[in-house]
Structure 1
Amino acid sequence: MVVIGTAIYMLGNLGILPGDYIIYLELIVWVVGILSITYILSILVKRRLSNTVGVDNASSLSFIIRVVGYALAIAGFLAAFRVSLGAALAAGGFAGLVLGLASQDVLSNVFGGIMLLFSRPYKVGQRITVSTWQYGMDFPTYPPKYFSNDFLIPGYTGTVKDITLLYTVIETDEMVELRIPNSIMIQAAIFVHDKTWRRKVRTRYEISKDLDPDLVIERIEKGLSDMEGLIQPPIVRVLEATQTTFVLGIDVVSSSIYEEPVRSDVIRRVNKIIKGINQTEKVKQAG
């Protein structure tokens, strides 16, 4: 860009390029050069400073550099045409009205990104769930909820990878990149999972009515007491009963931000406990 700018300046002084064209060429060089330098600098800051100041701070600094770059490009554009402050404000008011109506969604995403930068409801690297009415979900009518009788939160869960001018980039738990506009993120309900490194996991388990529920509950609580990462003693309750089974709710508070590994461990342990009780009952009946 420096070489091109120098060449344009020399050609203008030599009279090869008409003066009317020089300002336009210089303006193109300025805008393209500033945006290119801004982009490269923001990428370098994000990559080089991530290990020093943290991924979140490096991403925020990269975002600020991009905003400053766009501001400098616009300022250079106005200065090239020698637009005064008063004229710029007057023209900006009219242009802002027209452009605001024409590009309302784009501008709302940009300002949404700036608000996210200062409010920081979540950070790059955090695992979050985004629940918003703009992106609806269809759920099966039967069974509506398998592991909870209380509620089901519709949302998208994943790890925040980047916050750009227009989008928040999330890598979902299925390892798919999801880009949500910043204007949506400002309005959404955000569940930050790793704010506190613990999770209450409820597991539903059905047992036969032939078994004594008090005995089963006692055995399960004892069998789960040595689980890895257990923060509180497990609690087992009878949630409901069908014609042939009791439905148990097994609540475990574990030092994890993921439900599936904890629930898997609970199910495997409870399955062994129930098998042991059934075998004992068969031996008693045979004797």
Structure 2
Amino acid sequence: MDDQAANIVVATRTALDQASALAVQYGFSLLGAIILLIGGWLLAGVISRSAYRVISRIRGIDETLASFFQNVLHYSLLILVFITVLGQFGVQTASIIAALGAAGLAIGLALQGTLQNIAAGIMLLILRPFRVGEYIETTNVKGYIKEIGLFATEMRTADGLYLMAPNSTLWNTPILNHSREPDRRQQLSVAMGEKIDIDLARETILDILKADQRIKAAPAPKVYLDDLSADQAVLDVEYWTVTSSWSDVRHDVVSKLKARLAEPDITIKTAAGVGGSDE
């Protein structure tokens, strides 16, 4: 009986010693994990904010793109910290990394279209084929740029409608920017009857163009005979003006030409494929 009691006491002491050793061992591991987690969290925030300040100073980098890179770096560092903390407890992190890789691949395949829009958004924000406030035209859409996001670009059409275009549709097509260049050319065609004095009409048109201060003196306005048939002659009118006033100048010039060339058989129109859209 005494031997049995002694064995119980020895077993109890052994279990307590082992529990104490495990408590000390895992206690230090737990403390180290907590310190590592807190320190890693704070360090990830400091590094990501510093990266944001550096990236945002780079010329041509949009704030949206800088924030995106900051978030990607921040959460990547947090994942690395989390994996390191698990390694403190003896967890095989290689299997976790492989599982994360497989999950990322599956998510990438499931969100292929979305990832294409993100990649296109990043390229649009870096290369800047258009900026907020500019008027663009593609094969599918045209309008004023309101906001360039990572997934889609918000636009406003010339008649005031809201338009959202996925970034992939804008990146994979030629973009015609009506607002980027400071100066823009306008070309008009003036069709006149056979009884009109061509030289006098040409001089009159040049006087109208030279009198408008918004029309550039260089390159100089040009008026030349483009087509001559049995029943009419066509004068082509070319001039350059500031892009911001291009539409207003065109309207005024057309009105003045029609008023000064007051003949019933005179037709004035914008040359196809030259003037572009009237934004």
Would you say same fold, with TM above 0.5?
yes
Contact 1:100/1:107 (CA < 8 Å) preserved in 2?
A: yes
Contact residue 62 and residue 126 of structure 2 kept, 8 A: no
CA contact (8 A) 1:203 1:266 kept: no
How many angstroms apart in 2 are the aligned matches of 1:117 and 1:88? 34
The answer on whether the counterparts of 2:151 and 2:166 sit within 8 Å (CA) in structure 1 is yes
Distance 1:267 1:130 in 2: 24
3-state SS, counterpart of residue 175 of structure 2: strand
Q: Mean Cα displacement is larger for which, 85-94 or 97-106?
A: 85-94
Q: Residue in 2 aligned with 1:184? A: 169
Aligned-residue Cα RMSD (Å) equals 3.6
The CA deviation at 1:115 is: 1.9
1-structure distance, mates of 2:164, 2:137: 12
Instruction: Give me the whole-angstrom Cα distance separating, in 2, the residues matched to 1:86 and 1:130.
Output: 50
The answer (yes or no) to whether the contact 1:201–1:262 under 8 Å persists in 2 is: no
Give the alignment partner of residue 214 of structure 2, picking from 219, 229, 250. Answer: 229
Selected match of 2:129 from 121, 129, 132: 121
Letter in 1 for 2:239: V
- Kept in 2, the 8 Å contact 1:201–1:251? The answer is yes
Structure 2 residue aligned with 1:272:
259
Task: Kindly provide the CA deviation profile for residues 86-134 of structure 1, in whole angstroms up to 9, marking residues without a partner as x.
Answer: 4454234322332222211101111222222222232223x132324xx
**Alignment partner of 2:185 out of 200, 210, 215:** 200
How many positions carry a matched residue from both structures? 205
Structure 1 gaps of 5+ residues are: 1-29, 35-52, 136-154, 279-287
Rounded to whole Å, the distance in 2 between the matches of 1:91 and 1:98 is 11
Is the partner of 1:265 in helix, strand or coil?
A: helix
2:243 to 256, 260, 267: 256
* CA–CA distance in structure 1, aligned partners of residues 233 and 165 of structure 2: 43
Question: Residues 277 and 188 from structure 1, CA distance in 2 versus in 1: closer, same or farther, beyond 3 angstroms?
Answer: closer
Structure 2 unpaired stretches of 5+: 1-40, 46-56, 266-279
How high is the sequence identity, in percent, across the aligned residues?
25
Equivalence for 1:131: 138
One-letter code aligned to 1:131: T
C-alpha contact (below 8 Å) 1:63/1:163 kept by paired residues:
no
- Higher mean alpha-carbon deviation, 177-186 vs 265-274, is at 177-186
Structure whose alpha-carbon radius of gyration is higher: 2
Distance 1:242 1:176 in 2: 43
Which residue is 1:167 aligned to? 152
* CA distances 1:126-172 after superposition (whole Å, capped 9, x unpaired): x132324xx3xxxxxxxxxxxxxxxxxxx5132x2211120122222
Counterpart Cα distance in 1 of 2:93 and 2:167 = 31
| 1:218 counterpart residue number | 203
The aligned runs of 1:1-287 (5 Å cut-off) are 60-69=62-71, 72=74, 76=78, 82=86, 86-125=94-133, 127-132=134-139, 135=140, 156-158=142-144, 160-232=145-217, 233-257=220-244, 259-275=246-262
TM-score (normalised: structure 2): 0.61
Alpha-carbon offset, residue 262 of structure 1:
1.9
Residue 76 of structure 1 deviates from its aligned partner by 4.9
Measured at CA, do residues 243 and 185 of structure 1 come closer, stay the same or move farther in structure 2, by a change above 3 Å? Answer: same
Kept after mapping to 1: 8 A contact 2:124/2:171: yes
- Cα separation, partners in 2 of 1:251 and 1:87, compared to 1, 3 Å: farther
Evaluate the alpha carbon distance shift between residue 123 and residue 86 of structure 1 in structure 2; reply closer, same or farther with a 3 A threshold: farther
- The answer to whether the 8 Å contact 1:209/1:244 transfers is yes
Change beyond 3 A, Cα 1:218–1:75: same
In structure 2, what is the Cα distance between the partners aligned to 1:105 and 1:207? 54
